[in-house]
Structure 1
């Protein structure tokens, strides 16, 4: 399952950025980001493109004083 959560630096995504990560649920309401997936060059490039886009969007919203 992929869920948008605040990054703690997983997969090279800057801490504090909301990003879609693979999640593992414990069945009791808890969850954690599933780490350890091997990231090939193609996936790393896509993660970077998405990260850069999200940072740009966040910065635009901050410039408008909305966050």
Structure 2
């Protein structure tokens, strides 16, 4: 689920990112932490994070956010 990061899994706080989520069945949820991230996954997270930061920066430069 795409949610605003609080720094989980090394994703910068404030960036909207897809995370594993645990729902409580009552409308509440939280990011599921504790997964071991291997080198392959860490590389993919970094690529995606860098892309999202670039897109955010471009939109900010246009004055849209």
TM-score computed with the length of structure 1 as normaliser: 0.96
Aligned residues: 65
Question: Which has more strand, going by share of residues?
Answer: 1
Q: CA RMSD in A?
A: 0.2
The 1-side partners of 2:63 and 2:54 are apart by: 14
Q: Can you list the C-alpha shifts for 1:4-59, whole angstroms capped at 9, x where unaligned?
A: 00000000000000000000000000000000000000000000000000000000
Structure 1 segments (4+ residues) deviating >6 Å: none
Q: Which runs of 5+ in 1 are unaligned?
A: none
